[in-house]
Amino acid sequence: MSSSTYPILSTTIPLYNTLIDHTKEIINTENIISIKAAAEKCKEKLLEISSIYNTFYTPTLSEVSNKNESFEQKNSIIEHLFKKCCIEKIDKLQVYLSLPTVNETVNSLEWWKSNMSQFPHLSKIACDHLSIPATSVSSEQCFSISKNLITDNRNRLAGKTVRVYMCLRSW
Residues 6+ positions from 111 with CB-CB distance below 8 Å? 102
Domain definitions of the chain by residue range: 9-98, 137-170
Residue 139: name the closest of 109, 106, 166 by CA.
Answer: 166
**In this predicted model, what pLDDT tens digit does every residue of 6-63 receive, in sequence order?**
666 666 777 778 888 888 988 898 888 888 899 899 899 888 887 776 665 555 444 4
How many alpha carbons fall within 13 Å on the CB side of residue 161? 7
Whether residue 23 contacts residue 43, with contact meaning beta carbons closer than 8 Å, is answered with yes
Q: Which of 42-51, 62-71, 105-114, 151-160 has the lowest mean pLDDT?
A: 62-71
Tell which residue, 65, 53, 51, 70, has the closest CA to residue 11.
70
d(CA 167, CA 63): 71
What is the Cα–Cα distance from 12 to 77, expressed in whole angstroms?
12
Res 65: pLDDT: 47
CA proximity to 111, closest of 148, 66, 34, 119 = 119
Angle between helices 120-130 and 67-98 (to 10 degrees): 60
C-beta separation of 36 from 73 below 8 A: no
Lowest mean pLDDT segment, chosen from 64-68, 110-114, 164-168? 64-68
User: Is residue 74's pLDDT more than 60?
Assistant: no
Q: What is the pLDDT, as a whole number, of residue 144? A: 72
CA dihedral over 129, 133, 136, 140, signed as positive or negative: negative
How distant, in Å, are the alpha carbons of 18, 50, 57, 158 from that of 61?
A: 21, 21, 13, 73
Measured CA angle at 51 (ends 47, 54), to 5 deg = 130
CA 111-136-150 angle, to 5 degrees, is: 140
Percent share of the chain, pLDDT over 90: 1
Please check the confidence at residue 83 and state whether its pLDDT lies above 80: no
